[in-house]
Amino acid sequence: MKNVFFLSSLMLVMVLGCNQSNLKTEPDDEIISADPLPSWKDGGNKSAIIDFVKQITQEDGANYVRPEERIATFDNDGTLWCEQPVVQMEFIIYQIQKMAPEHPEWKKQLPYKAILEGDKSFLINDLINNHGLEVIKLVTATHTGMTSEEFNLEVEDFFNATQHPKFNKKYTQTSYQPMIELLQYLRKNEFKTFICSGGGTDFMRVFAEDVYGIVPENTIGSFAINTYEEVDGLWKIVKGKKNFFMCDKEDKPVAIEQRIGRIPIFVAGNVRSGGDIGQLTYSKTNQLPNFQLLINHDDDVREFAYSEEDNSSLNAAKEGNWNVISMKNDWLKIFPFDN
């Protein structure tokens, strides 16, 4: 078993409603006349996306890709929604606090003690210096041993009860409006859109369909092997901890192969930990035309600004000729609630 950190997630925003004009079933001339990406500033990156989609959908063109092979994968944290803080880690903290009255021993026992005392640095140290061996105990306590239905209700409760500390909005409202538009634009052009993220598959499924229009079977994340058991006389899926798979870095292509079985032609990730270099690189190995998009968090006014110590994602972008998105300069609007 790998030791790990679940990084991920989003939810219930009504964002999909904001852009209904793009969802009409009118034919191609609408694509030509209306702007499919209204929250993107006109320029190189926006043009590159639209140009790629036009090329691969032109049936008599040299770069045509048939719909079955129009696979697009998106990281979630920092690519589709805000990852400051990492939402699934907030869920873990929320759950530990909620469960604490039934576990009086936690007050004196690490890692629970640190959570109950609000000591986030303990978690960060554990992840950096101890392979996350303590964090995995928190994941196990909060993500296993219940039916999948019970787990989903816990996640829903968390999203209803909490808010993002900077924006004072539900976490599910901190999705990126330009990326929602991009997902819709791709699906309208017969792409199949997938999440491929370090977040837990089951955690992300609770909100991915409502927020992103991404169906549960297209949500790829970290997982463990569950069991099918009779619980109180009814057959249920019970969340397990066996053979934990962390969907990150070089294991993202592994997850894509396991779940999709085709190399994506379009991949979007972001700068923070080098976590998406794997899937972005993987799409470059496709024999079909392919497109890579890397989001750079450089807007500390409207969102957050952060980078990587070793600059590995931006270096890989330069080498691979990926499209680097400046949130500050490429996006007219960041969140659906922005004016």
Interaction between residue 290 and its own copies (CB under 8 A): no
- Residue 241 sits in the site that holds its own copies (CB under 8 A): no
**Stretches 24-32, 34-42, 128-136, 280-288: which one binds its own copies (CB under 8 A)?**
280-288
Q: Binding to its own copies by residue 261, rule CB under 8 A?
A: yes
113 is a contact residue toward its own copies (CB under 8 A) = no
Q: Which is nearer to its own copies, 20 or 129 (CB)?
A: 20
118 vs 216, which CB is nearer to its own copies? 216
Q: What is the layout of strands, in order, in the sheet containing 234-245? A: 234-245, 219-231, 192-200, 71-74, 266-270, 291-296, 323-326
Residue 62 or 234: the one with the smaller Cβ distance to its own copies is 234
- Rounded least distance, CB 69 to its own copies, Å: 9
CA distance 135 to 124: 9
Q: How many CB atoms lie within 10 A of CB 89?
A: 23
Say how far apart CA 309 and CA 51 lie, in whole Å: 33
What string of DSSP letters covers 181-245?
HHHHHHHHTTPEEEEEEEEEHHHHHHHHHHHH---GGGEEEEEEEEEEEEETTEEEEEEEEEEEE
Task: Give the interface size with its own copies as a residue count (CB under 8 A).
Answer: 38
- Binding of its own copies at residue 262 (CB under 8 A)? yes
User: Does 315 sit near its own copies (CB under 8 A)?
Assistant: no
Q: Decide if residue 145 touches its own copies (CB under 8 A).
A: no
User: Rounded CA gap, 144 and 200, in Å?
Assistant: 12
Provide the terminal-to-terminal Cα distance of the chain, rounded to the nearest Å.
46
Work out which of 51, 120, 215, 311 binds its own copies, going by CB under 8 A.
215
228 binds its own copies (CB under 8 A): yes
Closer by beta carbon to its own copies, 133 or else 231: 231
Nearest residue (CB) to its own copies, 219 versus 313: 219
Cα–Cα dist 147/219, whole Å: 19
Does residue 100 touch its own copies according to CB under 8 A?
no
Task: Provide the sign of the torsion angle of the four alpha carbons 78, 81, 84, 85, taken in this order.
Answer: negative
Establish if 260 lies at the interface with its own copies (CB under 8 A): yes
> Nearest 5 degrees, angle CA 241-CA 242-CA 243?
120
Smallest gap, in angstroms, from Cβ of residue 147 to its own copies? 11
Calpha distance 87→89 (Å, rounded): 5
Residues at the interface with its own copies (CB under 8 A):
68, 71, 148, 192, 201-202, 205, 209, 215-219, 223, 225-228, 234-237, 243, 245, 250-251, 253-254, 257-262, 278, 281-282, 285
